[in-house]
Amino acid sequence: MIIVTGGAGFIGSNLVLGLNTIGRDDILVIDDLTDGTKFRNLVDCRIMDYWDIEQLTTALLKKESFREKVDMVFHQGACSTTTEWNGRYMMQNNYEYSKQLLHFCLENTIPFIYASSGSVYGVNEKFKEVERNESPVNVYGYSKYLFDSYVRRIAKNTNSQVVGLRYFNVYGPREAHKQSMASVIYHLNRQLLSSGEVKIFRGSGHYADGEQRRDFIHVDDVVAVNLWFFQQPGAPGIYNVGTGKSRSFNEIARTVIKWHGKGKIEYIDFPENLKNSYQNFTEADISSLRNAGYQQGFKTLEEGINQYLNWLNN
């Protein structure tokens, strides 16, 4: 049996589908369906069972065993709202829960692959997986940073595979429920359909209007990295998961406009509440991932956006 936490979410549900494609449907999905719209992400997935997150946390605290042997835990469940400032909630949901699940896996020698984030680097221009580059600027990033630090301290003394994957800006199908946290591609598509315009931020830092740059990666590529580590049990560690190439918001806007064959760009003022906690630039250093043996390519931004827009609009 494979456990996927956050399995009804964006990356989690795509991962469940990816596991289905390699013949695994003995999957226990863990999630919180308070937002019932997320059920749509599971309709075409083949799973063995579904548990609410409280069922799992209760089982972990009571040290209950599962009826089926657990082969792997993919921990994708977290609060991913980067503008959430309730630190107590964030640390309980993203940090304490992750520690409980980690220790369950270590105690039972179960491989553990979990979602970290490129947000741990904060406002930076160096994105190598070393502590001197890590300086998160919001409590979401801090929750991920702290768990990565915890893993570094204890995982080196264990016999289980523990892999942390630092996702950069992921986009693709099944993210609509994320609302404001959905990718810029999702939002620009909706804006263009409703008004004929796409809206992106004016300049910030030393970047001109719309020239802020991020490392955007299609969710299919994220799933491919997860599945590779699933099939490579000898490669523990913390790894960046991005394309290794930053692209500007202007390039995204132009690609969306080109796909629709119409539209124009409107630049809007940069929000005051984001000025001190916004990453104007990200670009994953993927040398560790390559050195671990992952050699598959990544979709170009244009390939990924066109594929996603075909899915969104058809």
Active site residue 140: yes
CATH number 3.40.50.300 given to 176-213+246-281+302-309: no
Active site residue 178: yes
Tokens coding 293? 């043996």
CATH tag, 2-171+216-243+283-298: 3.40.50.720
Q: What is the pTM of this model?
A: 0.95
* Residue of 121, 140, 142, 278 with catalytic role: 140
Q: Where are the domains of the chain?
A: 2-171+216-243+283-298, 176-213+246-281+302-309
- CA 286-183-12 angle, to 5 degrees, is 70
Tokens coding 230? 């699933």
Strand pairing report for 162-167 and 237-241: parallel
Per-residue pLDDT 10s for the chain (314 aa) are 999 999 999 999 999 999 999 999 999 999 999 999 999 999 999 999 999 999 998 888 777 778 889 999 999 998 877 777 788 888 888 999 999 999 999 999 999 999 999 999 999 899 999 999 999 999 999 999 999 999 999 987 888 899 999 999 999 999 999 998 999 999 999 999 999 999 999 998 899 999 999 999 999 999 999 999 999 888 899 999 999 999 999 999 999 999 999 999 999 998 887 777 789 999 999 999 999 999 999 999 999 999 999 999 98
Nearest to 249 by CA among 193, 308, 192, 203: 203
Q: How far apart are CA 103 and CA 60, in angstroms?
A: 9
Burial 124-138 (b: 16+ CB within 10 A, else e): beebebeeeebebbb
Q: Which residue has the tokens 């190439």?
A: 245
